[in-house]
Amino acid sequence: MRTEEPGRATARRPPDRKARIAAAAGDLFCERGYHNVSVADVAAAVGITAPALYRHFKGKPDLLLHVVTGVIEKIAATAQAAPDLDSYLRASAARSVDRRGAAILWQREARHLPEASREELRRALSDIAGRIGALLKDARPELSSSDLELTAWCVVSVFGSISGHRVALPRRRFEQLLYELGDVAAHHPLGTAVSAVADEPGPTQLYADLAVSRREELLNAAIRLFDERGFQSVSTDDIGEATGATGPSIYKHFPSKTDLLVAAVLRGGEQRRSATERALARAGTPRASLNELLRSYIEFAQRHSHLIGLLIGELDQLPEKERKSSRQAQRDYLALWVHVLDEVRPGLDTAEAKITISAVMTVVDNAVRTGRLGERPDLADRLFEIGTALLLRTGSSS
């Protein structure tokens, strides 16, 4: 029989320690990025030693897999438990506010998992979209299978959009706004937008026929690899191999791997700014300005999906000066959207405007980067319809 020394309490391991470790790891991965968090950091956040953490997880990769899997399982549970579409929308709005960083774990950090694990998680996400599609079909039997798929992913994107910012609202209003946006994405009719006809080619089209220099080849390969794997998981040898060059030859064009990232992010910001200026120059009314701004963003995202990935996930890897500049450029771009939207919807709360615009951008970003959706020939028009409905809060069932 075990006895205790007088005056000394026996330390007991909390029954929920594994869950607490996973929660702390998820918060740290969202805040700092997977590569910038150590096992010791996670252990310290929980108030235990690193050896104690290893009783529950084999190492940091195992911990990341557990965290991301747990996030997706919770999303799946919400979808499976919902008896109808409206119940799902309300439950997801509440869940999203409670677990705000969930989407960023999949979008940014899951890239560091082995390919087999990522593929399994992709299947799980597709199953979630399928379940939401089934709920949509009950509510909107007129939708084709491809439109059900697109609409389901747009709904998922709305709820995941708050992972990408820190804009806050009172809890009840935040949930209600997310529910309303999800409801709009779920119910807005498709097939009503008139295709936009470009009256002049953008820079990408103008340069499409020009010979690509070695520097351009390296930069394009780096953009793709940084997006697919994450900046810290890509070496100069990887970039060289992707272009048929040796790693050291990269330094003839870029002094370091970081300089490649800086050049890529600068390019993304410049091309988006140029597209925005051309779009707004064509507009004559506030509503036309909003339409042109939305169409220009959709076009930019479709042409530069890997650049979108960098702007979402890799700004923290920039040197301090460039990071601050890029963050400010992001804030300025969002402020432009808020200004244009305010002219169309005067008096709209600024925080609500920012949350709404973020939802629209996330819907666009995810659609152009998600499997079969990005291959739809009518995707730009469908995204314009859904984006416009979200911005104006029209087309819901309520």
pLDDT at 356: 98
Q: Is the pLDDT of residue 304 over 70?
A: yes
**Each residue of 42-90: pLDDT tens digit?**
999 999 999 999 999 999 999 999 999 999 999 999 999 999 999 999 9
The answer to whether 279 and 269 have CB atoms below 8 angstroms apart is no
Q: How much is the pLDDT for 68?
A: 95
Q: How far apart are CA 30 and CA 23, in angstroms?
A: 11
Structure-block tokens of residue 216? 């351009």
**Residue 384 half-sphere exposure, CB side, CA atoms within 13 Å?**
22
395 has pLDDT over 80: no
Q: Average pLDDT of the chain?
A: 89
Place of tokens 């919400």: 78
CB atoms within 10 A of CB 20: 15
The rounded Cα 240 to chain-centroid distance in angstroms is: 28
3-state secondary structure (DSSP) of residue 167: coil
- Three-state DSSP class for 37? coil
Q: Give 229-286 as a DSSP string.
A: H-GGG--HHHHHHHHT--GGGGGGT-SSHHHHHHHHHHHHHHHHHHHHHHHHHH--SH
pTM (predicted TM-score)? 0.88
> Is the CB of residue 275 less than 8 Å from the CB of residue 202?
yes
* Rounded Cα–Cα distance for residues 173 and 131 (Å): 27
Tokens of 398: 């309520």
Which tokens sit at 302? 């479709």
Q: pLDDT at position 118, please?
A: 92
Comparing 44-53, 192-201, 270-279, 368-377, the range with the smallest average pLDDT is 192-201
- Six-digit token pair at 102? 């969930």
Q: Residue 205: its pLDDT value, please? A: 40
Selected residue with higher pLDDT from 106 and 224: 224
Question: Which of 98-107, 270-279, 325-334, 379-388 has the least mean pLDDT?
Answer: 98-107
